[in-house]
Amino acid sequence: MKKVFYLFLLIFLFGIGVGYIYLNETSTKEEEFGTENSINPQNLLTPENIVDGNTVNVDSQEIKISPQAVLIINKYYKDCNHTITNLVEIPPDMVNLTEDKLKAEYPDWEVISFSSREVSIYKEFDGICNEHYVLRENNGVITVYSLDEDENETVYEITDISVEYLTDGDRDRIRNGLVIYGKNELNAFLEDFE
């Protein structure tokens, strides 16, 4: 159990560190650009920008996805009510897309957030996600099985963890089939049993 606590503590401290770096980078950029470069609406009303009596012609830069951006993929599975979130590098075919072009090229996905540095998309799927596991005893060791949407079990991993040294309660849970959701939870359980 101590391992789980230290794991959560490590993740928490890592999150604080990432947040501090992000906030520090953002404030540095604000200082770098300052308010002198901000757009003043009064500056847009010059004679060369007025097309007719009602329209103002303004050059604007649409936000485009940077090659260094990250993509957050959120997949919701209806049958198990789980959302799987993956953070990946932006695929080359998404680089330089605007939000409208992204929506047009990926109409089945909902755009949750959009910036040049980060894009988050969401989609719902029928069935269950691929992160359902069952831990069982097999030949004296813990074997991990993955479950499909029909709850068929397929060997995912055969561990070296002997059930002989587990507590009576843990041994009974493993023999009855301990159902676990998520790779992080699976890894935490296996670490606790080692």
What is the DSSP track for 17-64? Answer: HHHHHHHHHHHHHHHHHTTTTSPPHHHH--TTTB-SSS-B----PPP-
Q: How wide is the angle at C-alpha 60 spanned by C-alphas 27 and 28, nearest 5°?
A: 10
pLDDT < 50: residue spans in the chain: 28-40, 44, 49, 51, 55-59
125 and 139 within one domain: no
Q: What is the reported pLDDT for 32?
A: 45
| Six token digits for residue 87 | 């953070």
Cα-based distances in Å from 169 to 101, 135, 159, 179, 194? 55, 14, 19, 15, 16
- Side-by-side strand order, sheet with 82-89: 82-89, 70-77, 118-125, 110-114
Can you give the CATH number for the domain in which 156 is found? 3.30.70
110 and 65 within one domain: yes
| Final residue before a domain boundary, out of 108, 129, 150 | 129
The structure's pTM equals 0.55
Name every residue whose Cβ is closer than 8 Å to that of residue 108 and which is 6 or more positions away in sequence: 123
122 and 108 within one domain: yes
Q: What is the reported pLDDT for 182?
A: 85
| Final residue before a domain boundary, out of 77, 94, 129 | 129
Can you give the CATH number for the domain in which 81 is found? 3.10.20.420
Cα-based distances in Å from 36 to 30, 32, 33? 11, 10, 8
Q: How wide is the angle at C-alpha 9 spanned by C-alphas 5 and 10, nearest 5°?
A: 120
Host domain of residue 142? 132-193
- Count of structural domains within the chain: 2
137 and 113 within one domain: no
Kindly tell me the burial class for residue 13, based on how many C-beta atoms sit within 10 Å of its own C-beta (0-12, 13-18, 19 or more).
exposed
* Digit-coded pLDDT (tens) for 66-115: 999 999 999 999 888 889 899 999 999 999 999 999 999 999 999 999 99
Q: What is the reported pLDDT for 183?
A: 86
Q: What is the reported pLDDT for 29?
A: 46
155 and 120 within one domain: no
Classify residue 65: in a domain, yes or no.
Answer: yes
Q: What is the reported pLDDT for 8?
A: 61
| Final residue before a domain boundary, out of 89, 109, 129 | 129
Q: What is the reported pLDDT for 37?
A: 42
Name every residue whose Cβ is closer than 8 Å to that of residue 154 and which is 6 or more positions away in sequence: 145, 146, 148
Q: What is the reported pLDDT for 33?
A: 45
Classify residue 91: in a domain, yes or no.
Answer: yes
